[in-house]
């Protein structure tokens, strides 16, 4: 179990619609900014759609091999550069062979494949700049590994919306087993037509900025992001306390209506952390703003957490960043612990009478005690559920 051999989060790099550094992201997160949620006219086959978009200038990859030249890797590099000095110090201490890279992604370089296919339809051949390897799911981890000079284990986990949350658990298991001393974890996903149109075809996308847990909720916004962290046994301010995983396999795209898999993942995470439910001060909900997800998650949370910890969904700040969502939202918990602030639950305030009432973070919420432990939920297609607990290391 995690608490028997502590694992710490040694550094954090972020790039998402709230900003391109942890400092900028924190400032906009705790200010309740939705500036990164924009309406796009070019992603849906028919019509406009709101998405979470990174608007900053991203690193130039033109000097890298063409199979690494993707927006996905630009986002990943922007995040990695924020933890590069930490990785270099760990390489000097442990050696490059004892450090791994485990990332989550669901898109990889699909956007570049879409552009190449449009070119082929118009010109009769693929552009010289296109290499199919840019779309392979392993690509972002291979890119970061090569850029960082890492020679340990390298992989990408792709379990839809729980992908990057799972990287933390997998990394901890490998450190506990003595296979690695430190791991670069997290996730990256970029906007592309396939995911936007796919979720639209499932009637899962919102007509406006999403409205999680409201009786008026009508679906998600897709977003893009990169969130990378370094985890190791080297002590730092924030500890990875525990993780829980379940697979209820209730339905290909719908969650178990009573949240059974979600409850298993949350309880397992709490148990692995050596904690009880009343130790959790704040929960970052999966909170997609789809009718079924929000209802089942409210049922699951209210069943386990009778003391009603603060809760919020942050999908209204960034959109649902898919393979990057788990890492992005555990990063928000990291920032909450670091700054002793909580992100507001952004919605219209119209409670759904079919859902249990939760303790929503609002502008009026006042912390009456120190934030010590946070839990973050990531629930994916096929009933693949992950919960993570992080906390202050001096607790």
Report angle CA 392, 343, 268 to the nearest 5 degrees. 50
What is the total count of domains within the chain? 1
In a domain, 155, yes or no: yes
In a domain, 383, yes or no: yes
Handedness of CA 296, 298, 299, 301 (dihedral sign): positive
Q: What is the pLDDT of residue 248?
A: 81
Tell me if residue 320 is catalytic.
yes
Q: How far apart are CA 144 and CA 156, in angstroms?
A: 11
In a domain, 235, yes or no: yes
Q: Which of 67, 256, 320, 345 is catalytic?
A: 320
* pLDDT tens readout for residues 347-382: 999 999 999 999 999 998 978 889 999 999 999 877
Q: How far apart are CA 300 and CA 257, in angstroms?
A: 10
Q: How far apart are CA 105 and CA 246, in angstroms?
A: 19
Q: Element (H or E) spanning 318, and its range?
A: helix 315-318
Long-range contacts of 349-355 (CB under 8 A, 24+ apart): 349/214, 350/214, 350/215, 350/216, 351/213, 351/214, 351/215, 352/213, 352/214, 352/215, 352/217, 352/294, 352/295, 353/215, 354/215, 354/295, 355/213, 355/294, 355/295, 355/298, 355/299
In a domain, 356, yes or no: yes
Q: Which of 15, 67, 161, 256 is catalytic?
A: 161
Q: How far apart are CA 240 and CA 373, in angstroms?
A: 10
In a domain, 1, yes or no: no
Tell me if residue 97 is catalytic.
no
In a domain, 2, yes or no: no
Give residue 19's domain range: 8-392
CA dihedral 290, 293, 298, 300 (to 10 degrees): 180
Q: What is the pLDDT of residue 2?
A: 73
User: How far are the Cα atoms of 28, 33, 39, 377, 379 from residue 206, in angstroms, in the given order?
Assistant: 23, 19, 11, 21, 19
Nearest to 242 by CA among 4, 11, 64, 3: 3
In a domain, 30, yes or no: yes
Q: Which of 67, 192, 210, 286 is catalytic?
A: 286
Q: How far apart are CA 119 and CA 384, in angstroms?
A: 36
Cβ proximity of 357 and 351 under 8 Å: yes
**Digitized pLDDT (tens) for each residue of the chain, 395 residues in all:** 576 789 999 999 999 999 999 999 999 999 999 999 999 999 999 899 999 999 999 999 999 999 999 999 999 999 999 999 999 999 999 999 999 999 999 999 999 999 999 999 999 999 999 999 999 999 999 999 999 999 999 999 999 899 999 999 999 999 999 999 999 999 999 999 999 999 999 889 999 999 999 999 999 999 999 999 999 999 999 999 999 999 887 665 566 667 789 999 999 999 999 999 999 999 999 999 999 999 999 999 999 999 999 999 999 999 999 999 999 999 999 999 999 999 999 999 999 999 999 999 999 897 888 999 999 999 987 778 999 999 999 87
Cβ proximity of 378 and 385 under 8 Å: yes
Report angle CA 280, 283, 287 to the nearest 5 degrees. 160
**Pairing mode of beta strands 99-104, 37-40:** unpaired
CATH code, domain with 40: 3.40.47.10
CA distance between the termini of the chain: 17
As separate numbers, helices (DSSP H) first and strands (DSSP E) second, the chain gives 11, 14
């Amino acid at each position: 179990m995690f608490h028997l051999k502590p694992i710490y989060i040694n550094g954090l790099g972020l790039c998402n619609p709230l900003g391109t550094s942890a400092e900028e992201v924190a400032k906009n997160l705790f200010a309740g900014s939705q500036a990164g949620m924009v309406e796009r006219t070019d992603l849906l086959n028919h019509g406009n759609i709101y998405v979470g978009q990174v608007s900053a200038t991203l690193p130039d990859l033109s000097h890298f091999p063409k199979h690494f030249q993707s927006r996905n890797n630009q986002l990943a590099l922007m995040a990695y550069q924020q933890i590069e000095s930490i990785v270099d110090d760990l390489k000097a201490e442990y050696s490059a062979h004892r450090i791994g890279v485990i990332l989550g992604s669901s898109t990889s370089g699909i956007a570049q494949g879409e552009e190449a296919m449009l070119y082929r339809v118009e010109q009769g051949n693929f552009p010289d700049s296109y290499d199919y390897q840019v779309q392979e799911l392993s690509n972002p981890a291979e890119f970061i590994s090569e850029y960082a000079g890492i020679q340990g284990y390298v992989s990408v986990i792709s379990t839809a919306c729980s992908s990057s949350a799972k990287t933390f658990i997998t990394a901890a298991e490998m450190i506990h087993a003595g296979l690695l001393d430190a791991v670069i974890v997290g996730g990256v996903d970029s906007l592309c037509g396939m995911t936007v149109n796919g979720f639209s075809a499932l009637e899962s996308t919102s007509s406006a900025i999403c409205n999680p847990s409201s009786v008026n909720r009508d679906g998600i916004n897709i977003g893009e992001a990169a969130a990378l962290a370094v985890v190791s046994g080297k002590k730092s301010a924030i500890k990875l306390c525990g993780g829980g995983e379940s697979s209820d396999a209730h339905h290909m795209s719908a969650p178990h209506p009573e949240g059974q898999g979600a409850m298993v993942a949350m309880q397992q995470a709490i148990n692995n952390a050596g904690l009880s439910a009343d130790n959790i001060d704040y929960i970052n909900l999966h909170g997609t703003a789809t009718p079924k997800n929000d209802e089942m998650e409210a049922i699951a949370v209210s069943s386990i957490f009778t003391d009603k910890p603060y809760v919020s969904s942050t999908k209204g700040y960034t959109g649902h960043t898919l393979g990057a969502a788990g890492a992005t939202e555990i990063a928000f918990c990291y920032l909450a612990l670091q700054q002793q602030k909580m992100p507001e639950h952004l919605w219209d305030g119209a409670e759904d009478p079919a859902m249990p009432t939760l303790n929503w973070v609002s502008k009026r919420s006042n912390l009456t005690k120190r934030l010590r432990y946070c839990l973050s939920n990531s629930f994916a297609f096929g009933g693949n559920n992950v919960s993570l607990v992080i906390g202050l290391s001096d607790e």
